Structure 1
């Protein structure tokens, strides 16, 4: 039997893909979708170097491989430039999120994880000052990128930088202080750059997914998979077992229990091997709430290749983020 679309997704986004033929798989439905979801580089590497081509059609291999090569170059360009800019900063505490925090800590090769933008969490009082610093480096407001939930979005024409503050809402600023206190130094970028602790990183990914109504690139689920399973391929800051008790307590404090449940439930459907780790981390929601979330969000958001948006996105955001 030819592999299905979910089979392709699981195989080509694994760090240890099972060898076998992918002949007859629905490549027309996978390739462009995977590239749009940020999964192209990892899929290309697996297909070419782990599966020996996997009996895939030449056009699919060529298309994915070109994305992989372009991503490697793009990531290097963006991160080297960013390092040169921020390496001189002292006496600050800026917390990197997303690809800049995860690429070298979760992925065996930095080229597997496209750097779609650089996300930084900072204190509200630091937004103006850091924006001014970036302005000196020729970064200007990116007016067409203001729906991201960021306090500021800046670009120099090559790299987007999203600045986030008060991501838990003004009423939970005390809880957010803990993220800064627990953050780990990211020394490659200088003394002022940090990345969140493991449990905080999981919750911040879940928060971003919920705020985007689960319309974000599916690369986010690969990030979440590696965080939840303790980055077993690596030996860094995220390579430890997830503390479910701590995670649930912080989710309750941040009012993100529904978002955490939803993201983890989708994850376990997409990657069944994560089920044991997910089960130990799920928050204790009422049965009626679980059934509602499963029906409205988890089931439709778990469809590989889905192109349509979930219904009632704005209402879902409020439901899942406690607002």
Structure 2
């Protein structure tokens, strides 16, 4: 039996893909979908260098490799430019999270994880000052609607989202804890940090919930690597999750339902990650789990689905505790 779309996704989303043929895979469906989901660079590398001769049509390789090269160039441009801007910044604590914080800590090559924007958490009083600092480097205000960010700026190539009350105005103390626990990123100078592992997991689940799970599947690879301890790397996230700490923070942030939903999706998509994901499930009522499985986890875990979840705004409210 030829591999299904889900089978093809699992093989090509692995950092250690199993050897074997993908002959007969649904390439026409997979390629366009994978490009839209941010999966193409990792897939291209696996097909070119890990699974050579696996029966891939030449046109498929050409399209995917073009995306791989573009991702490598775009990521390097964005991250090097950001480093040049913030390298000499002194006396601040800005926490880089999301894709830009994951590209070099979860992925064996920075090209594997396309960085669409940079996300930074900071104290409320630092938002205007840092936006002004970025204005000196040709960054201008952008519309931040729907991002959860306090402000957004762009230089026409890179969007930077500035967050303060990332957990909402009622949980500023919990957001301050993210800053307190953040780990330094020496390559970006003395003012840039990254969220610790448990905070990174919860911020990823929060992003999923805020977007009603209309997120690129690349984000589920991020979460897979976070919950399994980034075994392909040797960096800040290469350790086991502290599950009691994670669950305590999820309860404080009122993100238990979002955490369950994101972990349940990872468990369905990646059987090898299921033990780590299920071990971190928060203690929800059975009826709540069944509702989330039926209305969110099942539909979102179906590759190639183009339709939005029914009652999207209700889903957002349910998962973010609003």
Q: One fold, TM greater than 0.5?
A: yes
Unaligned runs of 5+ in 1: none
Q: Which residue of 2 aligns with 1:85?
A: 85
Matches within 5 A, 1:63-212: 63-143=63-143, 146-212=145-211
Distance 2:54 2:35 in 1: 18
Unaligned runs of 5+ in 2: none
Distance 1:76 1:43 in 2: 19
- Give per-residue Cα distances to partners, 1:50-100, cap 9 Å, x unaligned: 000421111111100000011111111111110000111111000001122
Distance 1:66 1:83 in 2: 26
SS in 2 for 1:96: strand
Distance 1:197 1:77 in 2: 26
SS in 2 for 1:261: helix
- Give per-residue Cα distances to partners, 1:11-69, cap 9 Å, x unaligned: 00100001111111111111011111111100000011000042111111110000001
How high is the TM-score relative to the length of structure 1? 0.98
Q: Which residue of 2 aligns with 1:259?
A: 258
Runs of 4+ in 1 over 4 A off after TM superposition: none
Distance 1:153 1:216 in 2: 19
Q: Which residue of 2 aligns with 1:297?
A: 296
Matches within 5 A, 1:235-246: 235-246=234-245
Tell me how many residue pairs correspond in the alignment: 322
Could you tell me how far 1:147 is from its partner in structure 2? 2.2
SS in 2 for 1:104: coil
Could you tell me how far 1:146 is from its partner in structure 2? 2.6
Q: Which residue of 1 aligns with 2:306?
A: 307
Q: Which residue of 2 aligns with 1:28?
A: 28
Q: Which residue of 2 aligns with 1:54?
A: 54
Distance 2:247 2:124 in 1: 26
- Give per-residue Cα distances to partners, 1:110-166, cap 9 Å, x unaligned: 1101111111111211111111111111011223x5322211111111111111121
Distance 2:154 2:14 in 1: 32
For residues 53 and 117 of structure 1, do their structure 2 counterparts lie closer, same or farther at Cα, with a shift above 3 Å needed? Answer: farther
SS in 2 for 1:9: helix
Q: Which residue of 2 aligns with 1:224?
A: 223
How high is the TM-score relative to the length of structure 2? 0.98
Distance 1:301 1:99 in 2: 20
RMSD: 0.9
SS in 1 for 2:3: coil
SS in 1 for 2:103: helix
Q: Which residue of 2 aligns with 1:275?
A: 274
Task: Answer whether contact 1:146 1:153 (CA < 8 A) is retained.
Answer: no
Distance 1:53 1:171 in 2: 55
